[in-house]
Amino acid sequence: MQLLEERILKDGKVIGTEILKVDSFLNHQLDIRLFNEMGKEFKRLFADKEITKILTIEASGIAIASIAAQYFDVPVVFAKKYSGTNMDKDNYEADVFSFTKNTMYKIKVSKKYINKEDKVLLIDDFLANGRALLGLSSIVTQAGAKVVGAGIAIEKAFQNGRLEVEKEGMLVHSLATIVKMEEGKVYFKED
Amino acid sequence: MQLLEERILKDGKVIGTEILKVDSFLNHQLDIRLFNEMGKEFKRLFADKEITKILTIEASGIAIASIAAQYFDVPVVFAKKYSGTNMDKDNYEADVFSFTKNTMYKIKVSKKYINKEDKVLLIDDFLANGRALLGLSSIVTQAGAKVVGAGIAIEKAFQNGRLEVEKEGMLVHSLATIVKMEEGKVYFKED
């Protein structure tokens, strides 16, 4: 998606060869106009799929998923990483290792909000090692529901996330796919 | 706002006299259609104000703020509770006590994303003790910017949050104001 790639080139900050900071528009300050264009593009990419629910993960996925949900006209559920005392006790759970934060955490979704008839689109900001998507997919599977696919804003194709999730047969569409980062520059996959 | 009050009566779960669970539509599963109506109502309530940015707090505020931001055509910034290794080191910070989770936590906003020209609308899902709003307001003040007001989905008027934030001169509009919860029933403030 050209608009997103241009924005990454303009405002993304490359640190070393692994880290891309996009907090000025994607995961701390949020450019909602851009998110609307991204939502339309997700709808175009998954136009032929029946989708009943969007599942994402707190915190950075929530805004992207919520804006996109308007084009699918379905509810969003977000998996919780940090559950308060008000959280249901009856949850689907999965362990997810975060390379960014260097910790394992448990994600939880109340059993009430995914049921076996659901056809679920996963949405997240980044695909890197694929651990978040695998955790979300595990939760959908535990519910007896179906993962229709995953919509990702930015894929780091030089990490093994796509490989890991495609092993499970997951259809993945990324709006911007980065093949290399080097000396402060971002290189996108050619169409 | 009648639509939200009706939804609380239909799907909210009262636990004791203090806790209202709305995770089926507001803070775990998200009814994006409802959020659009809420966003329009926030716009109506703050129509005469100049607003350049919406500030909220992860995680439950993000979706409400993002959908509302479409009606104001401004970016959203969300204060982070749990900062990863990618977070800027140069932040505005505030301490917030959470009664739900019974812990003090630090919220952070990068200094890049609020500047002294900003006119900031705070948005959050609940107003109870007001600690989150006070923390957000402190961050805006540290940036030398102006808090235009706060838009809240559900206010628990039997707690002292409004009192605390109005001491600071903050204008607060809540879409549903609960005066009492008793024996599983919710009582709203009369218009």
Of residues A132, A116, A114, A28, the one with CA closest to residue A76? A114
Of residues B167, B53, B29, the one with CA closest to residue A69? B29
Q: Tell me the CA end-to-end span of chain A in Å, nearest whole number.
A: 10
Minimal C-alpha gap between B111 and chain A (Å): 11
Substitution target from A14, A20, A22, A28 for chain B, most B beta carbons within 10 A: A28
Phi, psi angles (nearest 5°) of residue A188: -95, 155
Verify whether the Cβ–Cβ distance B77 to A36 is below 8 Å.
Answer: no
Q: What is the mean pLDDT of chain B?
A: 95
Burial of B142 (0-12, 13-18, 19+ CB in 10 A): middle
| pLDDT grade for A84, boundaries at 50, 70 and 90 | low
Minimum CA–CA partner of A22 in chain B:
B86
Verify whether the Cβ–Cβ distance A32 to B59 is below 8 Å.
Answer: no
For residues A149 and A129, is the Cβ–Cβ distance under 8 A? no
Query: Would you state the pLDDT for residue A82?
Result: 79
Tokens of B69: 């931001």
ipTM: 0.96
Minimum CA–CA partner of A24 in chain B:
B113
Minimum CA–CA partner of A34 in chain B:
B75
Identify which of B29, B78, B86 has the shortest CB distance to residue A59.
B78
Verify whether the Cβ–Cβ distance B82 to A86 is below 8 Å.
Answer: no
| pLDDT grade for A89, boundaries at 50, 70 and 90 | confident
Minimum CA–CA partner of A110 in chain B:
B28
CB proximity list for A22: less than 8 A, separation 6 or greater: A8, A11, A12, A13, A125, A154
List of chain B residues whose C-beta atoms are within 8 Å of the C-beta of residue A35? 66
Query: Would you state the pLDDT for residue A2?
Result: 97
A34-74 per-position pLDDT tens digit: 999 999 999 999 999 999 999 999 999 999 999 999 999 99
B104 touches A: beta carbon within 8 Å: no
Minimum CA–CA partner of B24 in chain A:
A113
Region of residue A120 (phi > 0: left; psi between -120 and 50: alpha; otherwise: beta): beta
For residues B27 and B190, is the Cβ–Cβ distance under 8 A? no
B83-126 per-position pLDDT tens digit: 765 677 899 999 999 887 788 999 999 999 999 999 999 999 99
Tokens of A104: 């394992």
Minimal C-alpha gap between A172 and chain B (Å): 23
List of chain B residues whose C-beta atoms are within 8 Å of the C-beta of residue A110? 23, 28-29
Q: Is the dihedral of CA A62, A67, A71, A75 positive or negative?
A: positive
Of residues A78, A178, A62, the one with CA closest to residue A127? A178
Burial of B86 (0-12, 13-18, 19+ CB in 10 A): middle
Cβ atoms within 10 Å, residue A140: 23
Strands A29-30 vs A53-57: parallel, antiparallel or unpaired: unpaired
Q: What is the 3-state secondary structure (H, E, C) of chain B?
A: CHHHHHHHHHHCEEECCCEEECCCCCCCEECHHHHHHHHHHHHHHCCCCCCCEEEEECCHHHHHHHHHHHHHCCCEEEEECCCCCCCCCCEEEEEEEECCCCEEEEEEEEHHHCCCCCEEEEEEEEECCCHHHHHHHHHHHHCCCEEEEEEEEEEECCCCHHHHHHCCCCCEEEEEEEEEEECCEEEECCC
Minimal C-alpha gap between B73 and chain A (Å): 8
The crossing angle, in degrees rounded to 10, of helices A60-72 and B32-45 is: 100
Query: Would you state the pLDDT for residue A52?
Result: 98
E strand or H helix at A11, and its extent? Answer: helix A2-11
A76 touches B: beta carbon within 8 Å: yes
Query: Would you state the pLDDT for residue B103?
Result: 87
User: In angstroms, rounded to a whole number, what is the distance separating the alpha carbons of residues A133 and A56?
Assistant: 9
Which pTM value belongs to this model? 0.97
Verify whether the Cβ–Cβ distance B30 to A76 is below 8 Å.
Answer: yes
Query: Would you state the pLDDT for residue A86?
Result: 65
List of chain A residues whose C-beta atoms are within 8 Å of the C-beta of residue B139? none
Substitution target from A30, A58, A76, A77 for chain B, most B beta carbons within 10 A: A30
